[in-house]
Structure 1
Amino acid sequence: MAHKFTIKQNKAGEYVAYFKYNAETIFWTEGYSSKAGAVNAIESIKKNGPGAPTEEE
């Protein structure tokens, strides 16, 4: 699979969700105090991301 989400703990002990494409990190979330928070962030991205518009600024 060329793309995936991973969850890792940062140095502060928070859980961070990363989106990787071909082993390159494309973006990551803020840190969450629980792993469930990071899982919820991933689910929100999957649910709301596909319909998000692209805007130039």
Structure 2
Amino acid sequence: MCTCSGTTRGKIYDLVMQGKDFEAISQWTGVNTGCSGCEWDISEFVKALQQQMPNK
């Protein structure tokens, strides 16, 4: 999903399942720190996954 950092959709999925939000994922992987072209796609993907997660 992020060409600049080489971060895949699968990696982002795993981090969301661990409870990470967009900001934490950005810090953890470097997404959205290069050209920022991935910001919308990744933030929407994270939001969609978070909405599917059961409340704890």
Q: Which has the higher strand share?
A: 1
Between structure 1 and structure 2, the one with the greater Rg is 1
Do both share a fold (TM > 0.5)? no
**Structure with the larger RCO, 1 or 2 (CA within 8 Å, 6+ apart):** 2
Q: Which has the higher helix share?
A: 2
Structure 1 length normalisation: TM-score? 0.34
Structure 2 length normalisation: TM-score? 0.35
